[in-house]
Amino acid sequence: MFKHLSVVCAALLALAACTSHDQAGVTPPAAMTSSPAAQVESTPVAPGTTAPASSSAPAPAQTTVASNASPPAPFVDTGKWVEGKNYFLIDPPQPTGHPGEIEVTEVFSYVCPACNAFHGTVDRIASNLPAGAVMNYVPASFRPDENWPMYQRAFYAAQALGLVDKTHDAMFDAAWKSGELATYNLQTGMPKPRSAWPTIDDAAKFYAKYGVSAQEFLAVANSFAVNTKMKRADDLVKAYGVDATPTIVIDGKYRFTVASAGGYPQAFELTQWLVSKEAAGK
């Protein structure tokens, strides 16, 4: 019986989604669901308030991973993927940082357990993009009750210093494997007391292993440029209508979650389909 419960708990954690901080002041923990196929965008995975859409057009705030050289697959609409159920229009569409290319963006947080579980699929998505498509990452900060703004700041400092390609996977490991930068207690699965949260100084020590001094990292992390990028990211997340992580956004026009897609393999397939749809101008 105990073994069975352990397997069930592991499956639930892998399908968890982290939702936005409730604007009424309640701070619900990240929820867990065992049935992503049954979830749709109008039924969030966990309690939370949908981020309001922004009427402005904030500049994209992300990093890029090079794509493959193969052309996009021909677009074929078999009726499998349904707008409003599996994926959702972003209205108005948001500008991207790569005109002439198709952006595939993950809205994520290093400390989001669902993002950690989805990370291997995102790596697969990034490595299988066709020519003319690029992978981007926008770190969310809408769970300050779980220390998300610190990880957002660390990401943009690392981006400014040219470290993200070397450290992106390692940051997930530091938060969820070694515990070096863990906000969660890795034994209980619950957030640590605020006094035990990792700080930007702790992040600086981590990034110092990748060729920059802790002092240099902190100077960049606390700079006006990084503050601006953080603000732009927050605006973009709202404009996308994102209220849960991880969320995948295609070229500023479409968004979906693992739940709305139906699972990890389906999220990979839906990404490819939406990229081919966008490439075909459909």
Please list the alpha-helical segments (H only) found in the chain: 2-14, 113-127, 148-160, 164-176, 200-207, 214-221, 224-240, 258-261, 264-279
Ranges of residues in the chain with a pLDDT under 50 are: 1-15, 22-68
The dihedral through the CA atoms of 184, 32, 30, 90 has a sign that is: positive
Q: Does the predicted model carry a pTM greater than 0.85?
A: no
d(CA 69, CA 113): 32
pLDDT value for 120: 97
245-263: per-residue pLDDT in tens?
A: 999 999 999 999 999 999 9
126-177: per-residue pLDDT in tens?
A: 999 999 999 999 999 999 999 999 999 999 999 999 999 999 999 999 999 9
Q: Which residue from 230, 241, 188, 190 is spatially nearest to 20, judged by alpha carbons?
A: 241
DSSP string, 75-130: P---S-S-BTTTBEE-SSPPP-SSTTSEEEEEEE-TT-HHHHHHHHHHHHHHHTPP
**Burial zone of 7 (CB within 10 Å; 0-12 exposed, 13-18 middle, 19+ buried):** exposed
pLDDT value for 16: 53
For residue 207, give every residue at least 6 positions away whose Cβ sits within 8 Å of its Cβ, in sequence order, or none: 154, 157, 158, 161, 163, 167, 214, 217
Q: Which residue from 267, 233, 208, 243 is spatially nearest to 87, judged by alpha carbons?
A: 267
d(CA 168, CA 198): 17
Q: Which residues of 94-125 are buried (b: 16+ CB within 10 A; e: fewer)?
A: bebbeeebbbbbbbbbbbbbbbbbbbebbeeb
Q: Which residues partner with 65 through β-bridges?
A: 135
pLDDT value for 233: 97
What topology does CATH give the domain 2-279? Glutaredoxin (3.40.30)
pLDDT value for 21: 52
pLDDT value for 61: 47
Look up residue 174 and give its two tokens: 């530091």
